[in-house]
Structure formats: structure tokens, C-alpha cells
Amino acid sequence: MISVRCVVAFAIALSVVSFAVSASAQKTAQESAAAAKKPFDPVPGMPGKDSVWVPTPFVTLEKMYDLAKLTPKDFVMDLGSGDGRAIIVAAKRGTPGLGIEWNQDLINLSNKFAAEAGVSHLAKFERGDMFSADISKATVLGLFMLPDQLAKLTPKFLTMRPGSRITVNGFGIPGWTTDVTEKATGDCGTWCTAHLYIVPAPVAGTWRLGEADLALAQSFQMLTGTLTVSGKSTPVANGRLNGNKITFTVGDTQYSGRVNGTSMSGQVNGMPWSATKK
């Protein structure tokens, strides 16, 4: 027969095991709950829909917006806005903006940071694809992208209003000569280079300038062409656009003016000139 002592010992052992199992289960549940409550903390290099996430240093963003001469009258957009810093930095300058981001966790984090900075009324974020986003409202873009992504978006960039500014961290837009490139100073590691591109007015084609035909070929802000009068053509030199401002030289004569859709006008040798698109 089993003695009373054995029964008591067995009961005690069973209680100890039951307590240990219960304590372990409780600890596991607590750890799981703690993990579930842990705030989202993005890590540079984190993979995303179209690229990895690497944040632009704050001093570089400030340099980018300095180059763009950002004002509260502008509207900033960032494509692939990550933790929202490009939009929030602009908002701290009083400029409204919109960040387009695919990762909802990053959008939530961006809204949190905007609220903490007191700029939620200016800094907005939406879930979307950076390649299909509508950028027509933007007057300034603050971007950090790979060259192939910038190249893919270039046709869309050129549909922005003339004079809109595109600021880019690090990589330049393939084939497009920068209007300004400067280095940020301070805590920016290897990402200190800021590029500025000013969207040019579209002017390629033939224009009627007085009794002459002005034929222009355009590569972004750079212009070449000829001015033809009575069958004689003279090359266009030093042709350049800065938004809707145009300058070019024909022979010893320098033209300067502004483009307004299918017309342009300005001054040449102190006298007015105008041209109309044919």
C-alpha cells in the first residue's frame, strides 16, 4: 500500500510542477503582450515596396530646402516619404506638404512625429505608390531616390509647372544637368550632397519671331536651334531656361524674356520682342 507520506510528497511535487508551468505560461504571455505593444522602430536599410529605406539627414534636408528657396506659399511633396521627415522639416518652416508612402507603419509613425512637432495641420501623409502619385499640386519635391527611380519619374517631373523645384539628396537625375549642387555641413555622413533642378517650360518647336522662324531643340533647361530670316539661318547659342525665363544669343544679339504657354516675349537691345509657337 502507498503510505500517507508518499501521497503527501507526490501532491507537493505536483503542486510545484503546476506552479512552474503556470508561471512559465504567464511569463510567455507577458512577453508576447510586451512584444505586441512595442512601438514600430524602422531601421535604415529596411526593405520596402520599391527600395530600402534610408533616411535623409536633417542637415541635408535643410540644405535642399535652402537651395529651393522654400516659402510658406509652396507645397512640398515627398515620394517614398519614410518616417515623414522631409515633410515635417518643411512644415516647421511653415510650408504645407504631403508624403506618399506604401508602408502603413511608416505612415503611422510619420503622423506621430508630425503631432509631436506640432505641425499635423501642415504635414499630411497618404498611402500610395510613388510612381503613380499625382504630383501636379507640388511646387517643390524633396526626394531621396536611386537613379533608376528618378529616371522613371523624369517624364512626370517635366509635367510640373515651370519654375517648380526638385531637390534631391545624393543621386542626381540621369541626363539632367543640375541647376545648383551644394554640400550640407554637420551630421550627414555620406549623404551631404543636395541637388536642385528647376522645371523648365516646354519650348521645343518652331516659333514665329517677327519675320523670322526660331527653331528650338530642348534638352531639359538647355536650348539649341537656329533663327532663319529670308532663308539664312544663324545658330542659337547659350540657350537656357530657368523655369519660364528664357535667354539665348543669335550672333551678337542676346535675347531674354519669359515663356507663357505658346507665346514668349522680352527685351533685346532695349527693345521689346515676342514670338508665337507655330
Q: How many degrees, rounded to 5, is the angle at CA 117 between CA 120 and CA 38?
A: 95
Q: Which pLDDT score, from 0 to 100, does residue 17 have?
A: 39
236-277 pLDDT, tens digit each: 999 999 999 999 999 999 999 999 999 999 999 999 999 999
Under CATH, domain 205-277 is a member of which superfamily? Avidin-like (2.40.128.30)
- Provide the residue ranges of all domains of the chain, joining segments of one domain with +: 47-198, 205-277
Residues near 262 by beta carbon (within 8 Å), at least 6 away in sequence: 276, 277
Which residues of the chain form beta strands (DSSP E)? 46-47, 52-53, 76-79, 97-101, 123-127, 140-143, 165-169, 180-183, 193-198, 205-209, 212-219, 222-229, 232-242, 245-250, 253-260, 263-268, 271-277
End-to-end distance of the chain based on CA atoms, in angstroms?
A: 115
Domain 47-198 maps to which CATH number in 1.20.1050.10, 3.40.50.150, 3.30.365.10, 3.40.50.300?
Answer: 3.40.50.150
Nearest-angstrom CA–CA distance, 211 and 225: 17
Residue 51 confidence (pLDDT): 77
- pLDDT tens profile 149-199: 999 999 999 999 999 999 999 999 999 999 999 999 999 999 999 999 999
Inter-residue contact 193 to 169 (CB < 8 Å)? yes
- Concatenate the DSSP letters of all residues of 60-110 into one string: HHHHHHHHTT--TT--EEEES-TTSHHHHHHHHTT--EEEEES-HHHHHHH
Q: What is the pTM of this model?
A: 0.84
Amino acid 8: pLDDT: 41
